[in-house]
């Protein structure tokens, strides 16, 4: 594609608040869906380079920790008597994964993807600087963090925040916007690329106060500096081989 078309793609992709559907981008640019889909993912991969090696918190800093499950959708049965509680493991298809987010108050947002919240403890310990105060909800997955950090807990079944400043509203806001992106734009975000959608959501969250021009320039610079794509190198060659 001409360079102007790539720059237009970045500007259109950034202009959306919660995400850009690949089908809509393909129509805007006049290219086939597969081209737009691969391009969107390459832009997400470029955004993610900002998060490489990032650590949050430190002395007198607070980081909120929370998890949200995505993917593995199972359509409910038509008749009420045939419906099952899809939250139970026996009624799931094994594709559901949890996005665990670390969000520093008045700071950056760092997500990652795991099979369960408890599997994220090593990630949190490696990315939170010594002296960090953590905020988490009542889920037992976070119990082991007490041995490594000063952890405050909030029981969401009773209260969302208390007057002493114990809450995880920042992390909840991240998941609220990511859910909106899933429901309103992408409809299905799961599998190997779930982490890229989460990283895109965190980038948009951290840069939401920047104007469109600065956001576009930042992503253009990240894309130009990004190495060969990890996820999409050889994508078209594989397609040609399969044909």
DSSP string for residues in 211-229: -HHHHHHHHHHHHHH--S-
Query: Quick one: which H or E segment has residue 51?
Result: none
This prediction has a pTM of: 0.87
Decide if pLDDT at 27 tops 60: yes
Q: Are 64 and 140 found together in one domain? A: yes
pLDDT of residue 70: 87
List the beta bridge partners of residue 150.
133
In a domain, 201, yes or no: no
- Judge contact between 45 and 231, C-beta under 8 A: yes
Q: Are 144 and 81 found together in one domain? A: yes
In a domain, 187, yes or no: yes
In a domain, 204, yes or no: no
46-60, 175-189, 198-212: the lowest-pLDDT one:
175-189
What tokens does 210 get? Answer: 């920047």
Domain encompassing residue 176: 56-192
At 201, the pLDDT band (50, 70, 90 cuts) reads: very high
Q: What is the average pLDDT value for the chain, to the nearest integer?
A: 89
In a domain, 113, yes or no: yes
Q: Are 188 and 124 found together in one domain? A: yes
In a domain, 18, yes or no: yes
In a domain, 197, yes or no: no
Mean local confidence (pLDDT), 20-40? 94
pLDDT of residue 216: 95
CATH number at residue 178: 3.30.420
pLDDT of residue 158: 87
Q: Are 179 and 65 found together in one domain? A: yes
Angle at 118 between CA 115 and CA 231, to 5 degrees: 35
Q: Are 122 and 10 found together in one domain? A: no
Q: Are 16 and 112 found together in one domain? A: no
> What is the chain's length?
243
What tokens does 208 get? Answer: 């939401």
In a domain, 198, yes or no: no
Q: Are 46 and 76 found together in one domain? A: no
Our count of domains for the chain comes to 2
Mean local confidence (pLDDT), 31-52? 94
What tokens does 197 get? Answer: 């959608």
pLDDT of residue 82: 78
Q: Are 128 and 220 found together in one domain? A: no
Q: Are 136 and 224 found together in one domain? A: no
pLDDT tens per residue across span 100-116: 999 999 999 999 999 98
């Amino acid at each position: 594609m001409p360079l102007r078309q790539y720059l237009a793609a970045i500007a259109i992709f950034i202009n959306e608040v919660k995400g850009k559907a690949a089908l809509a981008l393909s129509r805007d640019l006049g290219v086939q869906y597969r081209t737009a889909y691969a391009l969107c993912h390459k832009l997400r991969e470029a955004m993610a380079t900002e998060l490489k090696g990032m650590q949050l918190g430190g002395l007198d800093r607070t980081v909120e920790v929370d998890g949200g499950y995505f993917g593995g959708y199972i359509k409910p049965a038509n008749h009420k008597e045939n419906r099952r509680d899809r939250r139970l493991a026996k009624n799931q298809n094994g594709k559901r994964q949890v996005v665990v987010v670390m969000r520093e108050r008045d700071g950056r947002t760092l997500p990652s993807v795991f099979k369960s919240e408890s599997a994220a403890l090593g990630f949190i310990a490696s990315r939170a600087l010594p002296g960090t105060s953590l905020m988490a909800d009542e889920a037992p997955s976070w119990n082991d963090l007490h041995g490594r950090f000063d952890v405050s807990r909030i029981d969401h079944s009773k209260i969302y925040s208390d007057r002493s400043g114990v809450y995880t509203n920042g992390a909840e806001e991240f998941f609220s916007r990511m859910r909106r992106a899933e429901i309103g734009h992408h409809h299905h975000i799961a599998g190997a690329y779930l982490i890229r959608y989460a990283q895109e959501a965190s980038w948009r969250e951290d840069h939401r106060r920047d104007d469109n021009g600065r956001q576009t320039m930042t992503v253009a610079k990240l894309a130009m500096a990004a190495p060969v794509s990890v996820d999409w190198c050889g994508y078209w060659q594989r397609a040609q081989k399969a044909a």
